[in-house]
Amino acid sequence: MLREVTATRYVAPLHSGGSVPGVVEADDLGTYVVKFTGSAQGRKALVAEVIVGELARALGLRFPELVLVHFDPAVADAEPHQEVRELHAASAGVNLGMDHLPGARDFTPEIARVFPVDPLEAGKVVWLDALTVNVDRTVHSSNLMVWPTLGVAPPRLWLIDHGAALVFHHRWDGADPAKAYDFRHHALGHYGPDVRAADAELAPRVTEELLRGILAEVPDAWLADEPGFAGPDEAREAYVTYLHARVRSSEAWLPTGFPSREELAAEEAVRAARTRQGRPAWLKQVPDLHGKPAAQQDWSVHLG
């Protein structure tokens, strides 16, 4: 089961995230990035974080430890932004914390051009994202970190932020375990991910027993109000049934045909040209700021 800690000091909000997570220190002397139950994404995002994160860890991928964080809004009463204070007030109780990786850097397109990733490792990440329908690991928003950036150990790729995964749990009646999704612009697509080798290695390990163990880590309170189910245990079984059926259907959704770096650059150039053609003449000399990658946040700056 996930460890439980209590927040003792609120360090700073991360305004770069749509859910405005916060960096906190806890009574175990650890530092965590906390996602709050009162955020606009709601508890389903936290459920997805637990399921996909713990599945990644079980399959040998690097993912920071998750903990359940008991949060008293009074810990953050010095927060100056009213909307963040309102978020905290709506999140009293148990929230989800991810172990903070000090000094970690976002896996940006600039870093991707020089950072080596083995095709099998890339394939495993793509396979996990395809299995869990994580549509939020793209070339422009990778939700990947490079850590450590200093020290004797070589930098490694770490997965973060899976709140947008498991899209099927937003509409259970239309969930199709064999449905394919477009992963052509996956953040690791240009590394030539060996998804077939990943499927052969990982699929047999995603058993019903493993999935039930992972679902047991999701707090009852986050599943209690799931529409269409009699209670948390029935909801858990629905996740297990869907994900296990999706594993068995991998031939139907296994991503292939990733564009090369050159093809991605050509697509981006066409997109940028179309954007500029639609702008007023006086704006055509202004840089297209919207084309910049969104995920260039260095978490370390929030800790001073």
Specify whether 27 is located in the same domain as 89. yes
Q: 167-186 pLDDT, tens per residue?
A: 999 999 989 999 999 999 99
What is the β-pairing status of strands 144-147 and 22-26? unpaired
| 26 found inside a domain | yes
- Is residue 271 in a domain? no
Is 52 in the same domain as 127? Answer: no
pLDDT at 269 over 90: no
Q: Is residue 295 part of a domain?
A: no
115 and 246 housed in the same domain:
yes
Q: Flag whether 177 is in a domain.
A: yes
pLDDT in tens, 112-170: 999 999 999 999 999 999 999 999 999 889 999 999 976 668 899 999 999 999 999 99
Check whether the bond before 109 is cis (ω within 30° of 0): no
CA angle at 281 for the pair 288 and 275, rounded to the nearest 5°:
35
132: Cβ–Cβ under 8 A, 6 or more apart, which residues? Answer: 48, 51, 52, 55, 162, 165, 166, 243
Same domain, 84 and 141: no
Is position 273 within any domain? no
- Does residue 91 form part of some domain? yes
Domain-ending residue, one of 238, 253, 268? 253
Query: Is 181 within the bounds of a domain?
Result: yes
Residue whose C-alpha is closest to residue 88's, from 97, 75, 104, 107: 75
Q: Within this chain, do residues 10 and 25 fall inside the same structural domain, yes or no?
A: yes
**Can you give 221-232 as a three-state secondary structure string?**
HHCCCCCCCCCH
Distance CA 210, CA 176 (A): 21
* Total domains, the chain: 2
pLDDT of residue 193: 97
- Boundary residue ending a domain (77, 101, 125): 101
Q: 280 in a domain, yes or no?
A: no
Going across the sheet that includes 144-147, the strands are 105-106, 144-147, 156-159
CB atoms within 10 A of CB 234: 12
The two three-digit tokens of residue 260, written as one number? 């090369």
One domain, residues 243 and 140: yes
Helix-helix angle 119-131:195-202, to 10 degrees: 70
pLDDT given at position 262: 85
Q: How far apart are CA 163 and CA 58, in angstroms?
A: 18
Same domain, 126 and 221: yes
Residue 66's domain spans which residues? Answer: 3-101
Q: Is the pLDDT of residue 100 over 60?
A: yes
Per-residue pLDDT averaged across 86-99, rounded?
97
Residue 38, amino acid: G
Q: What is the pLDDT of residue 58?
A: 98
Looking at residue 208, what is its pLDDT? 98
Strand, helix or coil for residue 204: helix
Find all residues with CB under 8 Å of 145, minimum gap 6, and list them.
101, 104, 105, 106, 107, 157, 158, 159, 160, 299
Whether 97 and 117 share a structural domain? no
Beta bridge partners of residue 106, listed in sequence order: 145
Which of 211, 227, 253 terminates a domain? The answer is 253
Amino acid identity for residue 81 in this structure: H
Tell me if residue 200 falls in helix, strand or coil. Answer: helix
The tokens for 221 are 């309170």
Higher pLDDT, 269 or 79: 79
Same domain, yes or no: 96 and 205: no
Q: Which carries the bigger pLDDT value, residue 296 or residue 110?
A: 110
Q: Which residues contact 52 (CB under 8 A, 6 or more apart)?
A: 128, 132, 134, 162, 165, 166
Same domain, 41 and 21: yes
151 lies in the same domain as 226: yes
One domain for residues 138 and 247? yes
